[in-house]
Amino acid sequence: MRYPAAETAAKHDRILKEATRLFRENGFDRVSIPQVMQSVGLTHGSFYNHFASKAGLINDCVSHGAAKSLSGMARAESSMRGKAAYIDKYLSVAHRDNPGSGCLMSALGSEIHRDPEAQSAMTRFIAGFIDRLSSQFPWSTKRHARRDAIRTTASLVGGLILARAVDDEALSLEILREVAAGVKGRMSRDEKVC
Amino acid sequence: MRYPAAETAAKHDRILKEATRLFRENGFDRVSIPQVMQSVGLTHGSFYNHFASKAGLINDCVSHGAAKSLSGMARAESSMRGKAAYIDKYLSVAHRDNPGSGCLMSALGSEIHRDPEAQSAMTRFIAGFIDRLSSQFPWSTKRHARRDAIRTTASLVGGLILARAVDDEALSLEILREVAAGVKGRMSRDEKVC
DNA sequence: TGTACATCAGTGAACGCGCGTTCACTGATGTAC
DNA sequence: TGTACATCAGTGAACGCGCGTTCACTGATGTAC
């Protein structure tokens, strides 16, 4: 039966939100359309009233997640304390243990290149992430801001992925701690020591 | 029919080798047993004469690939030139474009934690990688060798994953270049500049 | 304002497909004597 | 050394399953008059 337009739009958003969470938790291949729709509280058939295909949903999820994440960064980095806190939060146990609500790059990084439908949205996200990091973080010198932003992004993503990959809690915590310290060392405050 | 023992062992190794390559290229979920067996030149049924299950194959592939990779590192790092060359090779276009013959961490990093069967073998690999890096690389000080090895591992893995994730060749090359320069900056030679 | 009708989101059965795995069968190998 | 037989890797049909996707149907919503 037909539903009010506002209700339909709300359902569309809930599908997108649940799918984004599930994809980050389990990867694109291990999340099925029936599973997404069930977690939204609908049957699988109506999925195709909202999205053209699973590939289309994946693309929308990455685009949507990227936009949300980038706007969140702007808020987090509005103060110097916010910047160090951002690094600590990125490399936290909470982020490690909750990929479903975490960073897209870390959650889907090593598999995204196999999904051309999602890759261009992810590219825009990565480029945006680096841009924001280089313009908003207090790097040692403005000349090297972009260079340092790229290195920091690689460290954050690599650090979190390794901390998640590892089966050994002590090693995982060591990785989070050391990478966080290394990244913070790239910020201007510490550069003065050298 | 029955086959000579040597031939059977050789087939076992070819299954392992092909599966390892395919898993690194396409991920565990997008490689099927029939596909592996076909690429070895056999039919799918005989797979279960060699391995107990797909999960068992995955575990053996990660263990086998880890051992091979670690022994390869020892060779590559026997000289100072070898060490800088190792970084450049890790963050090369060739490695980026050929995950099938490349590093396990970068190829499967973000999905390994969903496969408990493979995670402990991967943990041993990551721990071994960090150990070798910290004992064989010329770090600024011996005291910080392990710390620097962890940061370097995160940078290498994050850098390669981002370079692969990105759809934009210029950005991809920039990531490889800047991360490589940053990692080499952690080695003792450059530390003296500071 | 009321009536008639077109619209369209949700349902659940159904489609073809490929998956991991099993199994009866084959026939050369390896072994016991 | 020769013979009889047990072993076991490879084959390909078959299993149940869940996938992405389609479709006829339902019935309240929104619209035209």
pLDDT given at position B190? 44
Q: What is the mean pLDDT of residues B26-45?
A: 97
Least confident of A43-47, A115-119, B89-93, B153-157: A115-119
pLDDT given at position A74? 76
Token match 């870390």: residue?
Answer: A106
pLDDT given at position A194? 36
Share of chain A above pLDDT 70, in %: 91
DSSP A187: B
Q: CA separation (Å) from A19 to A11, A28, A164, A168, B118? A: 12, 9, 21, 29, 26
pLDDT given at position B144? 87
Tell me the helix, strand and coil percentages in chain B, rounded to 5.
80, 0, 20
Q: What is the mean pLDDT of residues A119-123?
A: 97
Most confident of A10-24, A130-144, A178-192: A10-24
pLDDT given at position A190? 44
CA distance linking residue A96 with residue A176, whole number of Å:
9
> Residues A148-175: pLDDT tens digits?
999 999 999 999 999 999 999 999 999 9
Share of chain B above pLDDT 90, in %: 79
Rg (CA), chain A: 19
Least confident of A119-133, B74-88, B112-126, B149-163: B74-88
- Closest Cα to residue B162, out of A61, A88, A152, A167? A152
Q: CA separation (Å) from A191 to A148, A185, A186? A: 12, 7, 7
pLDDT given at position A181? 96
Distance B85 CA to C31 C1' (A): 54
Q: How confident is the model at residue A192 (pLDDT cuts 50, 70, 90)?
A: very low
**Positions in chain C where some atom is under 7 Å from a protein CB:** 6-14, 18-24, 26-30
Q: What is the mean pLDDT of residues B74-84?
A: 69
Tell me if chain B has a CB within 8 Å of the CB of A97.
no
Q: CA separation (Å) from A158 to A118, A154, B83, B155? A: 20, 6, 20, 6
Q: C-alpha dihedral over A171, A177, A180, A185, to 10 degrees?
A: -120
DSSP B187: B
Residue A75 has pLDDT above 80, yes or no: no
* C-alpha A159: how far from chain center: 14
Most B CBs within 10 Å, among A167, A173, A176, A191, to test the B interface: A167
Cβ distance A61 to A13 under 8 Å? no
Q: How confident is the model at residue B194 (pLDDT cuts 50, 70, 90)?
A: very low
Q: What is the mean pLDDT of residues A16-31?
A: 98
Share of chain A above pLDDT 90, in %: 79
How many CB atoms sit inside 10 A of residue B111's CB?
25
B52 to chain A, minimum CA–CA distance in Å? 22
How many CB atoms sit inside 10 A of residue A193's CB?
7
pLDDT given at position A188? 62
User: Are B161 and A109 within 8 A, CB to CB?
Assistant: yes
Burial class (CB in 10 A: 0-12, 13-18, 19+), B30: middle
pLDDT averaged over every residue in chain B: 91
CA distance linking residue A20 with residue A186, whole number of Å:
32
pLDDT given at position A186? 81
CA distance linking residue A81 with residue A26, whole number of Å:
33
Residue A139, beta-bridge partner list: A187
pLDDT given at position B83? 78
pLDDT given at position B186? 82
How many CB atoms sit inside 10 A of residue B107's CB?
27
CA distance linking residue B72 with residue A146, whole number of Å:
34
CA atoms within 13 A on the CB side of A80: 5
Residue B139, beta-bridge partner list: B187
- Closest Cα to residue A49, out of A33, A68, A72, A71? A33
User: Are A151 and B122 within 8 A, CB to CB?
Assistant: no
Residue B141 has pLDDT above 90, yes or no: no
pLDDT averaged over every residue in chain A: 91
Q: How many CB pairs under 8 A join A and B?
A: 150
Q: Helix count (H) and strand count (E) of chain A?
A: 10, 0
Tell me if chain B has a CB within 8 Å of the CB of A104.
no
Collapsed DSSP state (helix, strand, coil) of residue B119:
helix
